[in-house]
Structure 1
Amino acid sequence: MSTSNVNGLGINLHYQHHHNSAPSYPILALLTFILPVLLVLIYFKFQNESTSVFQAHPITIKVVVANLLAFALAFGIEFTFHPCCPSTTCAAFLRTTILFCGSLSVASVASILFPDAWRPLIYLIYALLSLANLHGLVREWCGWVHHGLMEKLQAVCTGIQQWYVRRSAPLLPL
């Protein structure tokens, strides 16, 4: 078990999954390490500027805050409801949301440190990395839909077969 001390707060980075707790995510370790480092670098970049980072990059800051809030909400839902979550698709959606929002927050904060011409490249790299995770979610969702459809189709076929057997059974005289 490792513990990271960020702003005086001990954050437990225990990576084992217990049956009573939500699974831990590598994105938590990334956020715990990289966000404070990026924020210090942004502080140094803007300490001698006449404008603050909030004035210089208002849209990016709003994206960061919105994604961190969405990350916290999705993680809170996953952590709270994981043991009783009946749907693997719902759990996969929450994991994807957690990863997507956390990664977009890091990409947005990092983009502030680079020149304007580099920002699209940073977001492109982020988007390409996110596609792999989204591909996995789509495959899982398609598997879930396929399984559900096959169960329904099997039930319909069994019903038709039973109806046909009852209908075509020869009548025996009494």
Structure 2
Amino acid sequence: MPTSNVNGLGINHQHHHNSTASNSILSLLNLILPVLLVLIDFKFKNEPTSVFQTHPITIKVGVANLLAFALAFEIEFTFHPCYLSTTCAALLRTTILFCGSLSVASLSSLLFSDAWRPLIYLMYALLSLINLHGLVREWCGRVHHGIMEKLQTVCTGIQQWYVRRSAPLLPL
């Protein structure tokens, strides 16, 4: 993980990128959620039943994911990512993205007809899989790098042992 030393303080560039990504997700949700809520209110304004009665599962999924998003974001904010393992920090970022996106997908699906809802969730699922694929590739790369380092250490140890063992004894 690249760091630079500014005024004696190590600055983690990866954390800066991650906090920037988290801030942009938060900014996007700050923009999208109020707009979605106003549009949902407008769409269901003249309906005899509320949106909560018409689409209880969709609303529950949207709200539950919004709460999970807020919890994951608060965990990231409270526990500075430089104190977390890279895998834990990456899972936390993925959770934030996943929950925020599913919340938006759920609420935005209420604005479209029943025929369009599966397509909205399909687009959400594909985008989530792309993000998950990137996370898995990053993790596999780290595991591969760790295995190769340990393998190189073992091979070097074997080579040094063999050289010491096979060295001819010189008379004193």
| TM-score band w.r.t. shorter chain | 0.7 to 0.9
Q: Deviations over 1:151-174 (max 9, x none)?
A: 111111122112212222222334
What are structure 1's unaligned runs of at least 5 residues?
A: 1-16
**What's the C-alpha RMSD, in Å, of the aligned pairs?**
2.2
Written as runs of structure 1 = structure 2, the 5 A alignment for 1:31-42 is 31-42=29-40
Would you say the 8 A contact 2:69–2:99 is kept in 1?
yes
Determine what percentage of the aligned residue pairs are the same residue.
Answer: 83
Between 130-139 and 81-90, the greater mean CA deviation after superposition: 81-90
Structure 2 length normalisation: TM-score?
A: 0.80
- How far apart in 2 are the matches of 1:171 and 1:67? 72
Q: Which residue of 2 aligns with 1:91?
A: 89
Cα separation, 2, equivalents of 1:110 and 1:142: 34
Q: Kindly provide the CA deviation profile for residues 57-116 of structure 1, in whole angstroms up to 9, marking residues without a partner as x.
A: 111112112211221122112112225334223222221211111111101000011111
For each residue in 1:39-68, what CA deviation from the matched residue of structure 2 results, as whole angstroms up to 9, or x when unmatched? Answer: 111112222223221221111112112211
Structure 2 distance, partners of 1:126, 1:53, is: 22
Q: Which runs of 4+ in 1 moved over 6 A?
A: none
SS of the residue 2:157 aligns to: helix
With normalisation by structure 1, the TM-score equals 0.79
Check if 1:73 corresponds to 2:81.
no
Mark the CA change 1:51 to 1:93 in structure 2 (over 3 Å): closer, same or farther: same
> Of 160, 163, 167, which residue of structure 1 is paired with 2:161?
163
Instruction: Report what 1:8 is aligned to.
Output: none
Matches within 5 A, 1:17-36: 22-23=19-20, 24-36=22-34
Gaps of 5+ in 2: 1-13
